[in-house]
Structure 1
Amino acid sequence: MSMTLRAPATASAPALVLRPWRDDDVDALLLAHRDPTLRARTRQPLTTPAQARRWVARSRQGWAADRRFSFAVCEAADDTERLVGTVLLKEVVPGRPAAEVGYWTAADARGRGVAPRALETVTRWAFTRFAAAGLTCLELLHQIDNPASCRVAEKTGYDFVEVLPARPPFPLDGHRHVRRRAY
């Protein structure tokens, strides 16, 4: 997998590199999952190296199946990369007009525009890469107690559409935001 996307540096933040997850990301992935906020918002927090390795392996399987694309989001500076989050595009099915996006940002990278920049980069890539397959709409879902995700959605042009009732495994109502491909 040589798919790498880039978001340019801004006046206040370094460039982002978005790439498939690798085995050498396991330690940084586990470190990110130590954050209580991330653990509370993730259905399956990673706590052991074996869990993290399986997660990375499933990420590779999603890429190989051409339906689920999980990007490690890294800040790039001086030939080094530091993991700051992830963006996921899932349920990409030829002929199906909609797919879903999701993301998280590592605790020490929050509030610096990482999530909106990374999500915008993957959104543009998805609409370009899967236009011929019929992708016209991306959905972003989050629980109502996550106002930061609402802000990310708004900043990246995902319009609020509706409140979704709580259903397992999500204990709270949620928001559904949608962005449509520009023609």
Structure 2
Amino acid sequence: MRTTPTHLMAGTLTLRPWSPEDSADLAELYRDDALRRWTSEAVHDEASAARWVTAQQQGREAGDRFSFAVEETPEETPEETPEETPEETRQEASAETRAPGTAPRLVGNVVLKYAARGSGSAEVGYWTAAHARGRGVAPRALTALADWAFTAFAHEGLTRLELLHQVDNVASCRVAEKAGFPLTGILPAAPPAFPLDGHVHVRQAPTAA
């Protein structure tokens, strides 16, 4: 399918489809209390992580859910020559220099939920691993996802992407704004599934802005 590329790039980030080999790492990431609080996925061990990955693959094949594992490849820090660097600074730089070929690390997930194909509107979601928060991973990944979605589904008239979150998730508000999704409305609470009001953030396609 032409709308399901293998990779999307965003600087040091690579967005790719989830694979069964990710299950162990995914289960480890879900040990984080904050991640479990803000997401609805039932991931609590490697077996449930594997089932979640399978569900993402099925959604991609069906064409209504496009989840991307977000990987980060550390940038190499060039070493400075002794003539240019004082001894203490040189030792610190050496300690921080990453070896060439450092393996990418799983840092999050972004997803395009496009159940109503041809409706002109879809929803995006994301989560970030605990070890990667505070470094702009989510805004960069969401921006790449949105740019891809508007291009890939332009022929279907996709012009609107929504990002929804609970009102007390302040961090998601910041992420949405940085990724070009301004706050546009409030969703009323719907207990028990949604005990609090929600925020609606919307990004319009460039031609529809």
TM-score (norm 2): 0.81
**Structure 2 residue aligned with 1:170:** 194
Aligned length: 177
Q: Is it true that 1:154 corresponds to 2:177 in the alignment?
A: yes
CA distance in 1, matches of 2:117, 2:5: 22
Match among 78, 82, 106 for residue 105 of structure 2: 82
Query: C-alpha deviations, 1:9-55, integer Å up to 9, x for none?
Result: xxxxxx00100001111111111111000111112341122211110
Query: C-alpha deviations, 1:126-179, integer Å up to 9, x for none?
Result: 000001011000000000111111001111111111111112422211100000
1:76 partner letter: T
**Structure 1 residue aligned with 2:132:** 109
Determine helix, strand or coil for the equivalent of 1:28. helix
Give the gaps of 5 or more residues in structure 2.
75-100
> 1:14-163 residue pairs with structure 2 within 5 A?
15-77=12-74, 78=101, 80-163=103-186
2:159 partner letter: T
Query: C-alpha deviations, 1:85-141, integer Å up to 9, x for none?
Result: 000000253321100000000011000000000000000000000010110000000
1:17 partner letter: T
1:3 partner letter: T
Aligned residues of 1:140 and 1:153 also touching (Cα < 8 A): yes
Bigger radius of gyration among the two: 2
Give the gaps of 5 or more residues in structure 1.
9-14
Structure 2 vs 1, CA of residues 2 and 124 (structure 1 numbering), >3 Å: closer, same or farther? Answer: closer
Runs of 4+ with >6 A deviation? none
TM-score (norm 1): 0.92
CA distance in 2, matches of 1:147, 1:136: 26
Superposition CA RMSD, Å: 1.3
Determine helix, strand or coil for the equivalent of 2:145. helix
Structure 2 vs 1, CA of residues 173 and 87 (structure 1 numbering), >3 Å: closer, same or farther? Answer: same
Determine helix, strand or coil for the equivalent of 1:115. helix
**Structure 1 residue aligned with 2:204:** 180
CA distance in 2, matches of 1:170, 1:72: 26
Q: Percent identity?
A: 54
Determine helix, strand or coil for the equivalent of 1:69. strand
How far is the alpha carbon of 1:79 from its aligned partner?
Answer: 5.4
2:160 partner letter: C
1:39 partner letter: R
Between 1:163-172 and 1:51-60, the stretch displaced more is 163-172
Query: C-alpha deviations, 1:62-104, integer Å up to 9, x for none?
Result: 1111111000001024252211000000025332110000000
